[in-house]
Structure formats: C-alpha cells, structure tokens
Amino acid sequence: MKLLEQQGQQAKEAARDLGVCDTAKKDQALEAIARALDARREEWLAANREDVLEAEKEGMSRTMLDRLTLTEARIDGIVSAVREVISLPDPIGECIEEVTRPNGLRIEKVRVPLGVIAIIYEARPNVTVDAAVLCLKSGNACILRGGKEAIRSNRAVTAIMQDALEEAGLSRYCIQLVQDTARESAAELMHMNQYVDVLIPRGGAGLIRFVSQNASVPVIRTGEGVCHVYIDRAADLKMGAKILENAKCSRPSVCNACECVLIHEAVLDAFLQEAVPLLQAQNVELRCDEVSFAAAKQYAATGSILPATEEDWDAEYGDLILAVHVVKDLQEAVDFITAHGTQHSEAIITEDADAAAAFLHQVDAAAVYVNASTRFTDGGEFGLGAEIGISTQKMHARGPMGLKEITSWKYVVHGDGQIR
Amino acid sequence: MKLLEQQGQQAKEAARDLGVCDTAKKDQALEAIARALDARREEWLAANREDVLEAEKEGMSRTMLDRLTLTEARIDGIVSAVREVISLPDPIGECIEEVTRPNGLRIEKVRVPLGVIAIIYEARPNVTVDAAVLCLKSGNACILRGGKEAIRSNRAVTAIMQDALEEAGLSRYCIQLVQDTARESAAELMHMNQYVDVLIPRGGAGLIRFVSQNASVPVIRTGEGVCHVYIDRAADLKMGAKILENAKCSRPSVCNACECVLIHEAVLDAFLQEAVPLLQAQNVELRCDEVSFAAAKQYAATGSILPATEEDWDAEYGDLILAVHVVKDLQEAVDFITAHGTQHSEAIITEDADAAAAFLHQVDAAAVYVNASTRFTDGGEFGLGAEIGISTQKMHARGPMGLKEITSWKYVVHGDGQIR
C-alpha cells in the first residue's frame, strides 16, 4: 500500500476515536501541543532555517520569504493561538434542534465532526499548526499537505504535535503530514474519496481553481477575493473615501481587500477629490476606465494613474493597485459585480436606505456591506473565534469558517417500539 | 454553443432573478403549475403512454414499468403534493442569526438559495415535478436530467410547468430538462462548474457512485442504504422482532429499509424464535452466517434460509432478503456497522440505557435509532415537510433534505463608517 493511502486509512481510524472523544481530553491534547511547541521550538526553528536558506538559494521573493520565516515572536504568537482555541466552546455534541413527533419519537439533531479533513496549502508554516488545532478541537482528523518550500519546518512541527497527541492519550494519526510534496501527491489526495471527507485548499487562485476543478472528494473553495466598493450617488463621500482607503490599503495581500471601486457618475468628481489624495498618499496605483481616467488626473499630485484594460476588471491584485470604474446607476454596479466579483465581500456606501436594501438583497456574495469596509469578512471580526478559511462557495459553509463550519450533524432518534 | 451549456447559462440567469423573488410570486407560480398539471393532464398521460409502450417493447421489468406508469390517481397525488409545497414556509430571507459586534457592526446571517441545482435521476416521471417545485419554492433554478425511458413524459410535463412559470411572470428557464439522455449529457452536466452550484443524483447505488467519483461540480450523495438493526442482549425481543419485520418488510425497495440484522449471541435463539416466524410469513429470505444458520433452521417452518457469503454483508438488496449476523457484544456490532454500513440509518433494540447511549454515540450514520424502525428516516416523518432526497454524506446536509437543506446563507453587514 502506498504511504499516502496508508495515511488516509490511519486518519480514518483516528477520526473514529477522536470523533467520540470528550472535550476535556481534546483540550488536554491541545494544551500538550502548546507546551511542546513552546518547549521544542528550537527544533522547529532549526528546520525552518534550512527551509529559508534553501528558498533564498532558489531566489524566493522577499514577501514569500517573509511568510516562510519563523521567529521566536511568531512562535509565541502561534502558541498563544493554540491556547485561544482551547478557550473556544467545543461544537461537538451540541443539540442543534430537538423535536418530539406525534408518534412519540424524540428526534435530536446533534453536531458531529466531518471526519477527515485534508488541507492543501502553500508556504506558511503557521498554517500547519492553525489548521491542525482547529481540526482537533472540532473532532476531525487532518491530513496536511503544505508546500515544498516549508517541508522541513512542517515535518519538524508535525512530529512535535504528534508526540504531544500521544502524551495526551490520543492517536498520533489525528494529525498527519503528506511527506511527498510533488504535484502528484496533491492529485492523489484529491481522489482519496474513501478516506477524505472534505478537502480545503488554502492559497492562491490558481491552486484553488485547480483543486475544485479536479478533485473528486468534496471541496470547500476558500479565499478568492475580487471585492468591490460601490460609491452610490447618495454616499457620504468622506466616509466612502476612508472606507475605500481601508479596504484597499490596510492589508492589500488578503482576500477581503478591495480590488475595484465602482463610482456613480453623478458623484465621480466629488468622490475622486476626496479619495485620490488618500490613495496616493498610500502609493496606490489606479487603473481607470476612460471616464474616471480623465477625472482622476485632476486630483493626482503624484503616483501613477493608468488606463485600465479588460483584464483589470477580473484581477485579484493582492497589492497596492486599484481598478476604478464608473457606473450610471446602482443596477449597473450590481451587474458589474455579478460579472466580475468572486462572491466574497461587496460593499455599498450610501445614505439612501432603499439603495442599500436593493444592493444587499441583489448582490450575491458571502458578505455584503453597507457603509463598512470589506476587510471585516473574517472569523475573528464576525465573532466566530478562530478561522480555518473563508468559503466562497455556497455548499456547506459560506464566508468565514470557524469550528462549527467544519462539522456535520446526525439525527439521534429515541423510540419505544415505533414502527411505520 | 452547445444546447446544454446554453441551458446552464439560462438557468444561471433565471436563478439570479428567482433568488430575489418574494414568496407570494413563487407561490403564485406553484399554484399555476398545480392548475396546469391538472388541466393539461391528458398531454402528460399521452406522452407517458408512448414511454410505457416503448418500455414494454424493450422488455422492462414489471416493477420498473410500474414506476414509469402515470395514472389519473397518480397525477391527482402529484397535484396535491405541489399544493402542499405551497403551504410550506419559504426558507429564503429567514434571518438565521444576528449579532451586533463591539464596534457597532450589525451582522445578520440570512438564508439564500444555492442557485442552480442539477438533478440526475432515473425512470420516475413524478420526480420531475417533485424536484422542480421544491427547487422553485426554495428560490433555486433546476436542470433536470431524467432517464431515457421517461423522456417523452418528462418533455411533456416540463413544457406544462414552463408555460405556467411564464404565466406567473417568471422565467421559463427556472425549470429545464436535459433533452439528450445519452450518457454523455450526464457527464457534461457533471462538469458544468460555471453554471451548476450543486448536483444531486437520485437513483441506484451505481449511478450515485459514478456521479460522486466523477463530477467536478459539488455533489450531494443520496439514498445509499445498507441499514442494520442490532438486537442487544438486553433487547425486548418481541419489540425487536416487530421493529425488524417493519424495517425489512414495510417497503423493501427503499433506502431506509433494513438489509441486515445483527444479533447478540446471548439472545440468538430466543430472538430467532420471535422473529423467524414473522419474517417467514412475509416471505423474507434469510442469508445467515454459520452460527445463525444452524439456529434459524429450528424455527423455520417454510421459506428459504441460506448460508450467507461475504457479498451479503455489503448488499443493498432492495428486496425481501435479510442478512443475519451474530455478534459477541455491542462493540462488535458497532465495528460491523462501521465496516459494512453506508452511514444511512442504524438501530439498536435494547432496554439498557448505557448500551443505547454507547451505540447512539459511536455509530456514525445520518440517523441512529434506539427502539424504533429505520424506516422513519424521511423528510415527512422528521417533520421537514417534503423531501428532495436523503443525504448520506456529511458535507452540507446529512439525512433527509427538505427545503432548508437546499439553501445557503449570506452575511448582511450594516455599518456607519467602520474601518479595520
């Protein structure tokens, strides 16, 4: 039997026991993991230094190198995050609904784990711990498949977590790492229907599209974000400019950042007068349609303003670049978002309650906002506690996914001899 | 553009308008459909007579012919079922949760449709109406792909429903039928990720396995049922025998029927003495393991008792056949169910509360029962109203799926200038 298939089988078995494990035991294992990560950090750091050295040799970009690199402070943060997960309520065993039927059957709908969750991600070694502990708390075994750039770091930290699991009396196979980082191992994982209950890809748009088009195991798509802010004719323009600045600039690399502003033609000049100086101060490059290009030029002291091409309307820049498009009314804004958005996060800025209601009702996205930044689409900000990703599909879970979103349910039916 | 792709595009557009349509308008369309089915029943019956004639020529089995055949009474039943769907509450627009965050953001979690639901099914023309109206009520457009045996019936009834949609002011593309019943059209539908939000296969185990192994669009597996009744050492044996008789015989062709009884060795003789006469009176064939074979022979007046083979433990007979297996304790019963069940419906018969609790906790299935028949796993019996299928997967929905189970949600966020 191939190693990966064996891992799948081990994960399935581990999931069976973990799924019926009580909260205290899971929390003990999480505490053992936190302690072990703290105590054995030098092993993890040493492995990470090797990964970083190798990546430097391969000419990895600065941003990517920064994501790959662990530091004492980052490990402190990761250890704290594990302890935060301990403090979250255990979703498993919760009675979601209960009904007694006319025939006397008492039916409880009880929350249970999904089983085995596979996660394919890229070069961030912190994801290995984040994902593992969220799966553990929610009673799911996990199979982690990180990028080849972080393989040494991931091996080291997985071994540390597995030892902690055993110390706490759980199977080390509750958390497993795919050892082979060749493309084939991802493809194999995508077809292990017998062992994998759900596959969550976390990473760039290319990875996510590849996985969701090719996997036969159930997939939750996450984190594709071409988000818009629409400045309505009835917008408070100062508020709109500040929200746009925040949505674009506060963390441009993340999926809930704004990539395109839509501006009602009636307020084009007035809005650009407010917004362009704020954006230019943050070195945002504007990619403008014809009408806004001419208008924006007037308010641009420095920085680059370029004419947009068709590609700009579908681009997830992940950078300090903003597409600018003028619309003649709210309907055109909604249609543009339908055509070019990724159903992630969409905002309208308006003081007109009817316009707000129409936008919120008609725009089809995981989160729709009136007068707030798209950057709030996040498990922590929504009050879900930790987050395993942001779903951009409608099946199973939509938007930020906390612990409850990686669970299922079963019906527990109590009778005293009922037949049908 | 190919016809099927065009249908996908039309469904997507129709779904957009239908998704924001109010309850009154959807109910008017449903009433128009009920009226049209009633008034134009002769068209549907005529088309069905052609299907039945053709099927007889092809040598279709009696059971299948019966499923294919429409009658005046069956159409009356279908029309009533449409009116029952009108009376169900509309799940769309329901505020599932609401929270105000410390920063003043008010976040509502609002129920929305999935979008476009594709359904692949076999030769039952009533499914065409059932599925279409449940999708319509829940704001989803549907693409229906029935079996080739029922194509004339399905064309006729789809045209009737589409005319009714238009009469009620909705797009006729809310309900569409795949015209081509070759295997290729199913395969194409399984890969229309751009247009299909979820695919629900309804039919035999072969169809369901083929779809879930090969589709790239999200799938909800339904209706694979290898269900067990476990007779515990502390069972009320008379109750157990009656429940087993009901679970096996009341409708052997359905997925929640029992296929295998597990008997604790301590009560083997006493239970068989109760159960065998009941089962033999219903002409149930028993396929027994070695121990139960010898024991059952004593109580069998007539009928066939055969030794089981390995294949029997995984068989979904859909017929008056029952596998019989002896276990030495509850744990062996749980392990046997884990190995051979399809995670559909599993029952324990016991008066021992601890044994019941252990079984209900450890058995991983959509519905777990104590002292009741597995036959209750059904949308109507669970109080969900109508049912579009019984999910045997853990993603998205598990167990009977009513209207809520074919919906998603979006977060609607109200701010007054919040930035992060």
Q: What is the pLDDT of residue A303?
A: 66
Taking a C-beta distance cutoff of 8 angstroms, is the pair B161, B36 a contact? yes
**Does the distance separating the beta carbons of B243 and A218 come in below 8 Å?**
no
Sign of torsion over alpha carbons A292, A239, A391, B396: negative
User: Can you tell me whether residue A40 is helix, strand or coil?
Assistant: coil
Q: How far apart are CA A402 and CA B373, in angstroms?
A: 36
- Asked if residue A365 lies in contact with residue A346, where contact means CB atoms within 8 angstroms, the answer is yes
Q: Which of A367, A371, A413 sits opposite B368 (nearest CB)?
A: A413
The verdict on a CB contact (< 8 Å) between A395 and B114 is yes
Its domain, for residue B163, covers: 3-221+393-414
Chain A nearest C-alpha distance from B331 (Å): 13
In a shared domain, residues A206 and A352: no
Domain match, B331 and B404 both:
no
Contact check, Cβ <8 Å, B370/A394: no
B372, B235: one domain? yes
| Chain B CB within 8 Å of residue A32 CB | no
Closest CB to B250 among A214, A243, A420: A420
Element (H, E) at A238: helix A237-249
Residue A35 to chain B, least CA–CA distance (Å): 31
* pLDDT confidence of residue B203: 81
| Interface with chain B: mutation pick from A117, A398, A420, highest number of B CBs within 10 Å | A420
Cβ pair A418:B377 closer than 8 A: no
A234 secondary structure, DSSP code: T
Q: Within this chain, do residues B212 and B355 fall inside the same structural domain, yes or no?
A: no
What confidence tens digit (pLDDT) does each residue in A164-202 have? Answer: 999 999 999 999 999 988 888 889 999 999 999 999 998
Is B91 domain-assigned? yes
CATH number of the domain residue A343 falls in: 3.40.309.10
Please report which residue ranges of A298-411 form alpha helices under DSSP H: 330-340, 353-362
Q: Are residues A261 and A191 in the same domain?
A: no
Of B19, B245, B419, which is closest to A246 when you measure between CB atoms?
B419
CA distances from A85 to A113, A167, A369, A387, B78 (A): 16, 19, 28, 10, 51
CATH number reported for the structural domain that contains residue B17 in this entry: 3.40.605.10
User: CB distance from B102 to chain A under 8 Å?
Assistant: no
The answer on A112 and A217 residing in a single domain is yes
Residues B175 and B46 in one domain: yes
Residue B325 domain-assigned (yes or no) = yes
> Which residues of chain B have a CB within 8 Å of the CB of A368?
410-413
**CA-to-CA distance for B363 and A410, rounded, in angstroms?**
10
Kindly report, residue by residue over B230-273, the tens digit of the pLDDT. Answer: 999 999 999 999 999 999 999 998 899 999 999 999 999 999 99
Residues A316 and A351 in one domain: yes
Structure confidence by residue, pLDDT tens digits, B189-237 = 999 999 999 999 988 788 888 898 889 899 999 988 999 999 999 999 9
Query: ipTM of this model?
Result: 0.94
CA distance B83 to B79: 7
Shortest alpha-carbon distance between residue B207 and chain A (Å): 15
Residues 252-311 of A with CB under 8 A from B: none
For residues A176 and A96, give the distance between their C-alpha atoms in angstroms, rounded to a whole number: 30
Residue whose structure tokens are 């410390």? B102
pLDDT of B123 above 80: no
- On chain B, the residues whose CB falls within 8 A of the CB of A418 are 371-373, 376
- Contact of A420 with chain B, judged by CB distance below 8 Å, is answered with yes
pLDDT value of position B176: 98
Both A243 and A363 in a single domain?
yes
B381 inside domain: no
Please indicate, yes or no, whether the overall pTM of this predicted structure exceeds 0.90.
yes
SS3 of residue A396 by DSSP: coil
Q: Which residue of B has its CA nearest to A194?
A: B213
Interface check B9 vs A, CB under 8 A: no
CB contact under 8 A, A413 and B101: no
A88: in domain: yes
Q: Where does the pLDDT of residue A256 fall: very low under 50, low under 70, confident under 90, or very high at 90 and above?
A: very high
Nearest residue on chain B to A359, alpha-carbon basis = B412
Each residue's pLDDT tens digit, B103-117? 999 999 999 999 999
**Residue range A100-115, pLDDT digits in tens:** 999 999 999 999 999 9
CA nearest to B241 within chain A? A417
Are both A213 and A325 inside the same structural domain? Answer: no
Residues B206 and B250 in one domain: no
d(C-alpha A140, C-alpha B346), whole Å: 22
| Main-chain dihedrals φ then ψ at residue A166, nearest 5 degrees | -65, -40
Examine the domain organization and report whether A236 and A145 are in the same domain.
no
| Contact flag A107-B382 (C-beta cutoff 8 Å) | yes
More confident residue, A304 or A161: A161
Interface test with B, best of A243, A376, A378, A405 (most B CBs within 10 A): A376
- What's the number of domains chain A is made of? 2
